[in-house]
A and B are shown apart, each in its own frame.
Chain A
Amino acid sequence: MKPRTFFYFLREALHGLVRNRVMTLTALGIITIGLFLFGLFFLLTANLHHLTALAWEEVEIRVFLEPTVTNPEKIGAELAALPGVKKVKYVSKAEGAAALEKMLGNRNLFLDGENPLPAAFNLSLQEAADLPTLVRMAEAIPGVEEVVYKQDFVKFLEIAIRIIIICGLALLFLTGFAVLYIIINTIQLTVYARRQEIEIMKLVGATDAFVRWPFVLEGIILGLLGAGLALLILREGYSFLVHRIQFYRRFFPILSGPELEFKLMVVLLGMGLFFGGLGSHVSLKRHLKV
């Protein structure tokens, strides 16, 4: 495409947006709301996901060693190498006893040399580790006596994660379609307002691509502007929220930071771009048949 042609398209697109000011603003408002909701769901899903990830860290697996074991370091290394293991912490016989005594409030539960507790490793897990496999593999390591974990809690978490992901995806798709629908309808209005122009363009020999571009650009500009506005509102609103609940952060581990902002930006702008372009494309299809 020649630069001049591109600028012609851009000028036409901006012209269209400015000329139909009321329509443009209405559309922009609707797109912004749509993308805002989309972003809201995105943040919600991200946070729920974050929560479950944190919960995973709470899942503790205890690997008890056989009393005859003399080389716990080697077993520890093997455990650490298993898929899904995040951290390995060695709990010696004495430490185990101390922990138990502390828990029961009895300072002299065991006499020296009579400690029946086995040495153990506490494993913390990466998110979504395949627990049954992990347990089987850990049990297969020579020197490992028993692997114990809170099965119910883990099951609950697994189901929770699945539900959250499915709900999140469903919501993202739903809002995505809503935004697409809005953009298609908006561009359809613009196309309708300019149908005469399109007809004449086609009759004097403009190619379909040439006719289409200004509208596609118009849709993209609308989509990106809407995304930008939604982003601004979300960012301000979200950082306000984060600020407000700062104090409760320990109980409400809310996500924040530049990485999240970047992700949100990419997702929203991408949505605006994609649906803006696609919407125009779809809207024009019918009108090009001259």
Chain B
Amino acid sequence: MLIAKNLTKIYNNGVVALDQVSLTVQKGEFVFLVGPSGAGKTTFLNLVIRQEVPSSGLIAVNRQNLAHLKKKEIAFLRRNIGVIFQDYKLLPQKTVYENVAFALEVIEAKARSIKPRVYEVLELVGLLNKANLLPSELSGGEQQRVCLARALVNRPLLLLADEPTGNLDPDTSWGIMELLREVNKRGTTIVMATHNQQIVDRMRRRVIALDRGKLVRDTPKGGYTLET
């Protein structure tokens, strides 16, 4: 599903955000990407959706080498990847419904399919009754769920979640994690960047740890820190 080989990203300002990272994620996996702030987690996810290009090394999604994509192919690649952004990226002047439907409208999905799809994912994330509210009228956890709904609305093969429990209290965080677990059970591959130790420790999934751009650990069913 996802292959990185010697993946390196050096930003224009000279920061080495990723340094020779190699890893493979299989279809259907649920992977935690952990590491301290600045470790390069977001950078990695940005490379996966081709928002950034590698300085060297290779990255492939669905057996497609991202280095050779044309502009249009980048667009189509992104239609197969759902992303929960660290900063939500919801449009403040659009309602919950509109924010989610937006993701389908702009890829020219069939008009008839939009409404049922949007309601389906809003029901999944438990926001049916808030469909007509603006993001500013929602709590942080609810905004996070809108973001999840938008990421899922096009039935992506791969879901990237960047700190989906970032500023949420433990209960709300667990609500989100339940949803992600459910989505994963239905077959979507998930890569989740986080530094929420509690969650990683309790979920017992594969953990990939980055530190200052280097891959320092890759354990199946691991914890946040290396256990003795």
Contacts and interface: CB of A to CB of B under 8 A. Distances in A.
B102 interface: yes
B89 A206 contact: no
Contacts of B51: 203, 290
Contact of A204 (B71, B93, B103, B111): B103
Contacts of B205: none
A196 B87 CA distance: 12
Contact of B78 (A197, A205, A211): A205
Contacts of A5: 108
Given A4-B111, A197-B91, A203 B49 contact: yes
A8 B106 CA distance: 9
A201 interface: yes
Contact of B89 (A2, A200, A205, A210): A200
B105 to A, nearest CB: 7
A205 B75 contact: yes
B72 A207 contact: yes
A19 B94 CA distance: 12
A199 B103 CA distance: 12
A206 B75 contact: yes
B107 A2 contact: no
6 interchain residue pairs of minimum CB distance = A205-B78, A205-B79, A206-B106, A204-B103, A207-B75, A201-B106
Contacts of A4: 111
A200 B83 CA distance: 10
Interface of A: 2, 4-5, 8, 19, 196-197, 199-208, 210-211, 290
B49 A208 contact: no
Contacts of B105: 8
B108 A204 contact: no
A204 B72 contact: no
18 contacts: A5-B108, A8-B105, A19-B93, A196-B91, A200-B103, A203-B49, A203-B83, A204-B150, A205-B75, A205-B76, A205-B78, A205-B79, A205-B107, A205-B154, A207-B72, A208-B71, A211-B106, A290-B51
B199 interface: no
Given A5-B108, A199-B89, 13 more contacts: A196-B89, A196-B91, A203-B89, A204-B78, A204-B102, A204-B154, A205-B76, A205-B77, A205-B106, A205-B154, A206-B75, A207-B72, A207-B75
Nearest to B72: A207
Contacts of B49: 203
A5 B111 CA distance: 10
Contacts of A208: 71-72, 75
A2 B111 CA distance: 11
B72 to A, nearest CB: 6
Interface in B87-102: 89, 91, 93, 102
Contacts of A200: 89, 91, 102-103
A201 to B, nearest CB: 5
Nearest to B90: A200
B91 A204 contact: no
A30 to B, nearest CB: 25
Contacts of B150: 204
A179 B93 CA distance: 31
A97 to B, nearest CB: 84
A207 B76 CA distance: 8
Nearest to A208: B71
A19 B71 CA distance: 30
Given A200-B89, A204-B79, A2 B106 contact: no
Nearest to B104: A204
Nearest to B105: A8
B206 to A, nearest CB: 26
Interface string B58-81: 000000000000011001111100
Nearest to A206: B106
Nearest to B151: A204
A228 B143 CA distance: 44
A156 to B, nearest CB: 59
Contact of B106 (A19, A196, A204, A290): A204
A208 B107 CA distance: 11
**Central interface residue in A204, A205, A208, A210, by most chain B CB within 10 Å:** A204
Contacts of A19: 93
Contacts of A204: 78-79, 102-103, 106-107, 150, 154
Nearest to A2: B108
A267 B14 CA distance: 52
A205 B107 CA distance: 6
A205 B150 CA distance: 12
Contacts of B85: 203
B18 to A, nearest CB: 20
Interface string B95-133: 000000011011110010000000000000000000000
